[in-house]
Amino acid sequence: MHIVHTIADLRRALKPATLRAFVATMGNLHQGHLDLMQIARAKASQPGAMTVASIFVNRLQFAPHEDFDAYPRTLERDCELLAANGCDVVFAPSEKDLYPEPQVFKVHPPAAMADILEGEFRPGFFVGVSTVVHKLFNCVQPDITVFGKKDYQQVMIIRRMIDQMALPIELIGAETRRAENGLALSSRNGYLSAEERTEAVQLSLALKAMIAAVKAGNASGQLDVAAIEAQAMQTLTARGWQPDYMTVRRQYDLSLITGVCDEPLVVLGAARLGKTRLIDNLEI
C-alpha cells in the first residue's frame, strides 16, 4: 500500500489504474469505514483496478465552536487498518497540501437540501463537505465512490452534486454498521463515557419507535407525523438528552410529509448526550 501526501504524488500513484474506487474519510477509523473499503475493494476487482482512501480532517466543515482541534488523528493505526482491508493508496494530505491557498472557490448546495436538518444546526456544514469532496474527486478522479448512509443527508447531497456537475462517478451508499446493541458506529462514539455508551442506543430505539408509529398511522389512515416527532423528542429529553431533531422525511429529497404517505421514507435524529452529538437514521 502506498501512502502519499501531495496531489502530484497521488496522481503519479494512480496513473496506471484501469479503475479507481474511492473512500473519503477523516480518519479515526472504525469498522464502518472498513466496510466501505471492503465494498470499494469488491468493486475494484478487474485487473489494474485500484482502491483509494483519503484521510483528511476538513476544517471547512467545522464551525468555530466545534471540535476541529480535538478531532482524533490516528494516521498510523488508520493506515494499518486500511492496508489490512484492501486499500492500495492512502491520500493523507496536510492542510497546506490540499489548500495551498485559502479555498475561496466553494461548492454551495441549494438551501432546500443543505440548510435543513444538519445544515440548520451546523450552518455552512454542507458547503464545507461539498467543497472538500468535490476537490477530492478532482484529485482522485474516481470511477466509483462509497459513502456510508449513516450520514444520510450528506449522501443525498453528494449524489445530487455528482448528477448536477455531470461527474463520471458511481456513488454507492453503504448500510450503517452497528454495534450488537444497535448503536450506529461513529468516530465520535469515542467521546462517550462507559455509561453514556450504554445510554447511546436509546437514539436508535427512539427511531425504531417512530417507524412503528409511522407504519401504524399509515395502516389506519391516521398518520400524525408532528405527534410522532414530538413524542420522540420528549422521550429523549426525559432521559437527559438534548435532541436537535427527530423527524420523518421522504428518502428522495428529505422533504416533509404531512399525512399518509406510501413513498419510501426515512426517520432521522440528532441529539446531544452529555458533550457528544450523535446522529442516526433508519429507512422505512
Topology of 2-174 in CATH?
Rossmann fold (3.40.50)
**Eight-class DSSP state of 201:** T
As a CATH number, domain 187-283 is 3.30.1300.10
CA distance 116 to 124: 11
Give me the residues paired with residue 173 across strands: 147
Q: Which element (helix H / strand E) includes 283?
A: strand 276-283
What is the model's pLDDT at position 227? 97
In this structure, are residues 276 and 188 in contact, taking their beta carbons and an 8 Å threshold? Answer: yes
User: Which residue ranges make up each domain of the chain?
Assistant: 2-174, 187-283
What is the model's pLDDT at position 89? 98
- Catalytic sites, residue numbers: 33
Terminus-to-terminus CA distance in the chain, angstroms?
39
In this structure, are residues 51 and 87 in contact, taking their beta carbons and an 8 Å threshold? Answer: yes
Is this prediction's pTM over 0.85? yes
What is the residue-wise DSSP string for 5-19? -SHHHHHHHHTT-SE
Full pLDDT tens readout for the chain, 284 residues: 999 999 999 999 999 999 999 999 999 999 999 999 999 999 999 999 999 999 999 999 998 888 899 888 999 999 999 999 999 999 999 999 999 999 999 999 999 999 999 999 999 999 999 999 999 999 999 999 999 999 999 999 999 999 999 999 999 999 999 999 999 999 999 999 999 999 999 999 999 999 999 999 999 999 999 999 999 999 999 999 999 999 999 999 999 998 899 899 999 999 999 999 999 999 99
243, 261, 240, 242: which is closest to 252 by C-alpha? 261
In Å, how far are 13, 54, 61, 64 from 44, measured between CA atoms? Answer: 16, 16, 29, 38
Q: Give the list of residues 6+ apart from residue 119 with CB closer than 8 angstroms, or none.
A: 113, 125, 126, 153
Phi-psi region of 235 (alpha: psi -120 to 50; beta: other; left: phi over 0): alpha
What is the model's pLDDT at position 70? 85
